[in-house]
Amino acid sequence: MGRVKTIARRTFLIGSVAVAGGVAFGTYLVRRTPDNPLLADASSGDAIFNPWVKIDSEKITLITPHCDKGQGVVSVQAALIAEELDVEFGQFETDFGKPSGAYWNTAMAEEGVPFMATDRSFAAETMRGVMGGLLKVMGLQGTGGSSTVADSYYKLRQAGAVARETLKLAASKKSGIPVEQLKTSKGAVQLPGGFELKYTELAEAASVLDPVQNVTLRDPSQWRLLGKPMQRLDILGKSTGTLNYGIDLSVEGMVYAAVKINPRQGGAIKSFNAVEAKKMRGVIDIFEITGGVAVIADNTWRAVMAVEAIEFDWGVAPYPAEQDEHWKVVGDSFTPELLDSQWRNDGDVDAVIQGEGVLESEYRSPYVAHAPLEPLNAIVKVTDENVEVWSGHQLQRQLQVLVAAVTGHEQEQVTFHNQYIGGSFGHRLEFEHLKQAAEIANKMRGTPVKLTYSREEDFAHDFPRHLSVGRGRGKVADGKVIALDLQIAAPSVIGSQMSRANIPVPGPDSQISAGSWNNPYNLANYRMRAYRAPELAPVSSWRAVGAPGAGFEFDCMLDELIHAAGADPIEERIRLMDHDVSRKVLETVAEMSSWGAELAKGSGRGVAFVESFGVPVAEVVEVTKMENGIKIDKVWVACDVGKIIDPVNFENLVQGGVIFGLGHAMNCEITYSDGMANQSNYHAHEGLRLYQCPHIEVRGLENGDKIRGIGEPPVPPAAPALANAIFAATNLRIREMPFNKHIDFV
């Protein structure tokens, strides 16, 4: 890593991986393989090769434990198994499987160690190994942090290969033909002479064999599925309205529930009057639950109408009532006592940044809602013996723990049926709606309860992305950027989120500064300090977590310095770049966009580079200043995930990430008045609409040495690239999201 040196390593465990305090574990626990959850339900003759592949006489089932909230990971996980198993799409079923420690996430630890993603030192790699072991001991199954492909890339191909070789062994025993003479394709073992034995025909024979563990994975040059365009397994269902989301499910005997929880989040309910609501048609019951009231009815709409008819007396919010106060608390947090971590201290910023020509700026990134289109929902049925939950969630096992705590059952008594999710962006990492559904169902034991949030309830109880303030000082000389001293203050998103999951998190929160300190630039003098503001409104991980805010603050500050130096925005970023893979990303986006070409009058271009989740991403945005405001014309994106599994899905996710980043930067924020969010629906928190969507050209590179995910990394560079483009076109430097507070968009 060249001259990148003084990176804080003062703590063993840090914020972005949730870790129970004081966990001690030995080598035995780390080596022990968690129990295979498929064995619990196995019948005689079922061939269960590992936690991901089950074959019986009827069908082949592939378990895809990572939840699918739109990223297409059911298909991606299945394809990784199918590549080695030699089954085609259409020959198998998929299942989200039961929550289990066997599905512990092997990749989530990457983001949780206090080292740059580009750091391959012994210390960094050792710490990643230790963190990975800890997640295994915890049995942390989860989808998040763009970790699905990284987690699955090796182990699911391995799972497919183990099943394939075991089936060949079964075929060999059955036919008497040596394994070496057997081949596999299209769900069958191919025998010499044109005969074949279908995997389903071999299931019983394979079921009594020890799985063959000594397998060799195929070289990517031999792949027939991976790396090529695939038809997503869910595409037909999602194009015909036949795929069920959690909100579409029905369970025999089910009743419908709506809730209203104190919109001053975490505040108490003092009293309520439901006299009129109780008289409304279809209302079955109305009762108080933690923080609010539940209505039970025979239809979702009737339940919501009745909730709206209740009069409430709410307690105060446990955080400042007005938005200005939130900003003041964050702005007052740049103190030595609240220093969370000094992530970089290269050179000597104090000596260099003084005297004439010091450039100073302050940036702001607001609260933003997740607001996926499918509102939060869950069906819960509680009996004395067990609990069943139907919903879509990213943290399957923690869900069981928290639901069990509400109903008084043991974790093992909670059965969770995970569902396809209509968008999350981090929303389905939260548990409050599930705890509420469990509380309601627990009062109505034996009756399944379907809780659906109204959009207004969903906005009121969206734990938004944290707000942050970035303060930068810098200096340029001889046409170059020579120094940057960046400080960012924000409440801890990981601390807030994990407090609701009852998981204490020691150490600094790397997400306060994610997207700033970790960009692999080699600035001669660079200091980055993160401050942990006191807890304000409850906040949660929003797509790319810290990087959309801190990355905006960092990259725009750098852009200001580059302009002050009179340098070219891409050339100076390339000059400063200290990582070959990232430099190539910048060079590629320059080439794609014909950077430097003459633009039409009124047009301007901005570039931004932000690395998040180990993925370097560079984006160039071109805008035109129209009579009525800014029009976003084009975006070029280059990024590097090491290996692209499905180029079609990859392009879709990158374009979607850019649109997500642009739209929220343009017109979205959550603000609080009287302790309540002012924005209650999409009219006030709109994002990008189709007519505003630029042409987006994507190029994925494969130079990186680790396999990474693409769900989040395209988001962070979009906002700074847009701000930098607006500056280029108008000379207006916008230092605060959403940008529509300062300029109109057409």
Residues near other proteins (CB under 8 A) = 69-72, 231-232, 234-245, 247-248, 250, 256, 281, 299-302, 371-375, 420-425, 452, 454-456, 648-649, 652-653, 655-660, 663, 681-683, 686-691, 693, 695-696
Could you give the CA distance from residue 110 to residue 465 in angstroms, rounded to a whole number?
22
CB 521 within 8 Å of CB 514: no
Q: Which residue has the tokens 């890339």?
A: 153
CB of 282 to other proteins, least distance (A): 9
CB of 697 to other proteins, least distance (A): 10
CB of 304 to other proteins, least distance (A): 8
Q: Which is nearer to other proteins, 426 or 474 (CB)?
A: 426
Could you give the CA distance from residue 179 to residue 192 in angstroms, rounded to a whole number?
11
Could you give the CA distance from residue 611 to residue 547 in angstroms, rounded to a whole number?
8
Q: Which is nearer to other proteins, 460 or 481 (CB)?
A: 460
The tokens for 327 are: 């900003």
Q: Which is nearer to other proteins, 100 or 692 (CB)?
A: 692
CB of 728 to other proteins, least distance (A): 24
Q: Which residues contact 718 (CB under 8 A, 6 or more apart)?
A: 608, 619, 621, 635, 657, 658, 660, 661, 662, 665
Q: Which residues contact 59 (CB under 8 A, 6 or more apart)?
A: 92, 93, 200
β-strands 339-346, 525-533: how paired?
antiparallel
Q: Which is nearer to other proteins, 6 or 250 (CB)?
A: 250
CB of 711 to other proteins, least distance (A): 10
Q: Which is nearer to other proteins, 213 or 250 (CB)?
A: 250
Alpha helix (H) residue ranges in 577-683: 580-592, 647-667
For the chain, how far is it from start to end, CA to CA, in angstroms?
Answer: 43
CB of 656 to other proteins, least distance (A): 3
Burial 633-666 (b: 16+ CB within 10 A, else e): bbbbbbbbbbbbbbeebbbbbbbbbbbbbbbbbb
CB of 423 to other proteins, least distance (A): 4
Whole-Å CA distances, 275 to 102, 270, 287, 489: 50, 16, 12, 47
Q: Which is nearer to other proteins, 285 or 578 (CB)?
A: 285
CB of 400 to other proteins, least distance (A): 24
- DSSP assignment of 585-597 equals HHHHHHHHTTTT-
CB of 368 to other proteins, least distance (A): 12
Whole-Å CA distances, 261 to 38, 289, 307, 310, 493: 39, 9, 10, 12, 22
3-state secondary structure string across 473-489? EEEEECCEEEEEEEEEE
Q: Which is nearer to other proteins, 248 or 571 (CB)?
A: 248
376: helix, strand or coil: coil
Q: Which is nearer to other proteins, 212 or 677 (CB)?
A: 677
Cα 74 from chain centre: 16
Q: Which is nearer to other proteins, 59 or 281 (CB)?
A: 281
CB of 695 to other proteins, least distance (A): 8
500 by Cβ neighbours in 10 Å (0-12 / 13-18 / 19+) ranks as middle
Q: Which is nearer to other proteins, 571 or 697 (CB)?
A: 697
CB of 52 to other proteins, least distance (A): 24
CB of 696 to other proteins, least distance (A): 6
176 by Cβ neighbours in 10 Å (0-12 / 13-18 / 19+) ranks as exposed
How many other β-carbons are positioned within 10 Å of the β-carbon of residue 445? 12
Alpha helix (H) residue ranges in 139-230: 148-175, 199-207
Which residues pair with residue 207 across a beta bridge? none
Q: Which is nearer to other proteins, 139 or 423 (CB)?
A: 423
Q: Which is nearer to other proteins, 476 or 635 (CB)?
A: 635
Cα dihedral across residues 33, 39, 44, 48: positive or negative: negative
CB of 661 to other proteins, least distance (A): 9
Residue 531 sits at φ, ψ, to 5 deg, of: -115, 135
- Residue among 418, 429, 361, 360 nearest 394 (CA): 429
Q: Which helix (H) or strand (E) holds 291?
A: none
Q: Which is nearer to other proteins, 422 or 507 (CB)?
A: 422
- The amino acid at 547: A
CB of 256 to other proteins, least distance (A): 7
CB of 708 to other proteins, least distance (A): 19
Q: Which is nearer to other proteins, 115 or 660 (CB)?
A: 660
CA atoms within 13 A on the CB side of 521: 32
Q: Which is nearer to other proteins, 75 or 100 (CB)?
A: 75
Alpha helix (H) residue ranges in 332-415: 349-352, 396-407
Q: Which is nearer to other proteins, 351 or 690 (CB)?
A: 690
β-strands 196-198, 188-190: how paired?
antiparallel
Q: Which residues contact 317 (CB under 8 A, 6 or more apart)?
A: 264, 265, 266, 267, 537, 672, 675, 676
Q: Which helix (H) or strand (E) holds 306?
A: helix 300-308
CB of 469 to other proteins, least distance (A): 27
Q: Which helix (H) or strand (E) holds 209?
A: none
Contacts 24+ apart (CB under 8 A), 179-187: 184/85, 184/86, 185/86, 186/86, 186/87, 186/88, 186/91, 187/60, 187/86, 187/87, 187/88, 187/91, 187/92
CB of 240 to other proteins, least distance (A): 5
Could you give the CA distance from residue 566 to residue 572 in angstroms, rounded to a whole number?
10
Q: Which is nearer to other proteins, 585 or 659 (CB)?
A: 659
Helix and strand numbers (H, E) in the chain are 19, 27
Q: Which is nearer to other proteins, 31 or 683 (CB)?
A: 683
CB of 690 to other proteins, least distance (A): 5
